[in-house]
Amino acid sequence: MKALRLGTRRSQLATAQSRGVADEVTRLTGQPVELVEITTYGDVSRESLVSIGGTGVFVSALRDALLAGEIDFAVHSLKDLPTAQPPELALAALPPRADPRDALVARDGLGFEELVMAGGAAGPARIGTGSPRRMAQLNAWARGLGREIDTVSIRGNVDTRIGYVRAGELDAVVLAAAGLGRLGRTGEITDLLAPDAVLPAPGQGALAVECTAARPELVAQLARLDDPHTRIAVTAERTLLAALEAGCSAPVGAFADLLADGQTVTELRLRGVVGTPDGAQLVQLSTTGPLPASVEEAAAVGRQLADEMLAKGAAGLMGERAL
């Protein structure tokens, strides 16, 4: 049987999560899968995500390979995927979501509040992240404790980022818990940042499995990986992001909780935040209602909350507009 070609970024994290999807495709369908590593612009550029446009810098090369027939399907981190879906490509599956939270890796095993109160060797604690969303909420959290922190913009893979802490250049870094989990490195986490304190990026922790819409049999085959609850939740989050006209590197956080009555999910609570990177100004709102019965209903929840946030001045706090 001919193997399906799965396109993936070359990073250790990307290949780890792609191998997981490949194994699941083989388990469900019996079809062998081989990984095809592709370098994206976001992988080779050392500039900040904001300066290089943010939206789509990690996915365009994979999509080009799909449309050229060089690969059969691709796996993306959903938070990197632009909210506008090209009609020639199908978002065939959103597998069950991993931990959506942000995670702190800090010196001396410290949690965030402990680190903020202790400070760094020469002043406020220095915390590395490439995300304006994280900067805004971390700075606001520290302000609420009556302290200041120094958020430092960094790029690089997981080893590079954690290496700044190990070398003493930074007091901590913030990464996605899901990525550390997929790499088997949750033991390095010193604090899991609850969404009550730091809302994750829209779609964080979820993967997207994409192929060309011209191959309906493959779309149906890959759809066996889809998790309906994940699709409902991230649709609400990503619609909020799109309705704010913000890209994936804008300072926007969103998280849809699925609330259960016993074993049955009955409600969805969507929370959104927009803030200035220094944390001085935040617009943060939430809405709770019955579990949407369709992705269209989930999208309506996201649009409604975005409208409320815009009415509260969210547009003026975003440094990036969608391209």
Contact at 8 Å (CB) between 253 and 286? Answer: no
Count of alpha carbons within 13 Å of 46, Cβ hemisphere only?
1
Query: CA nearest 63: which of 34, 79, 33, 40?
Result: 40
Contacts of 302 (CB under 8 A, 6+ apart): 235, 236, 237, 238, 239, 240, 241, 242, 243, 254, 270
Q: Of 126, 161, 182, 271, which residue is the catalytic one?
A: 161
Contact at 8 Å (CB) between 3 and 149? Answer: no
Q: Is 321 a catalytic residue?
A: no
Q: Of 133, 182, 238, 271, which residue is the catalytic one?
A: 133
Count of alpha carbons within 13 Å of 310, Cβ hemisphere only?
13
Q: Reduced to 3 states, what is the DSSP secondary structure of residue 90? A: strand
Q: What is the total residue count of the chain?
A: 323
Q: Of 79, 97, 182, 231, which residue is the catalytic one?
A: 79
Q: Is 133 a catalytic residue?
A: yes
Q: Is 161 a catalytic residue?
A: yes
As beta bridge partners, residue 152 has 128
Q: Of 80, 99, 102, 171, which residue is the catalytic one?
A: 80
Q: Is 211 a catalytic residue?
A: no
Q: Can you tell me the distance from the alpha carbon of 156 to that of 96, in angstroms, rounded to the nearest whole number?
A: 26
Q: Of 134, 182, 231, 271, which residue is the catalytic one?
A: 134
Q: Of 9, 97, 248, 271, which residue is the catalytic one?
A: 248
Query: CA nearest 33: which of 73, 72, 4?
Result: 4
Q: Can you tell me the distance from the alpha carbon of 252 to that of 132, in angstroms, rounded to the nearest whole number?
A: 8
Q: Can you tell me the distance from the alpha carbon of 141 to that of 121, in angstroms, rounded to the nearest whole number?
A: 20
End-to-end CA distance of the chain: 42
Q: Of 5, 19, 107, 155, which residue is the catalytic one?
A: 155
Q: Is 224 a catalytic residue?
A: no
Q: Can you tell me the distance from the alpha carbon of 320 to that of 133, in angstroms, rounded to the nearest whole number?
A: 12
Q: Are strands 191-193 and 102-106 parallel, antiparallel or unpaired?
A: antiparallel
Q: Among all residues, which ones are annotated catalytic? A: 79-80, 133-134, 155, 161, 248
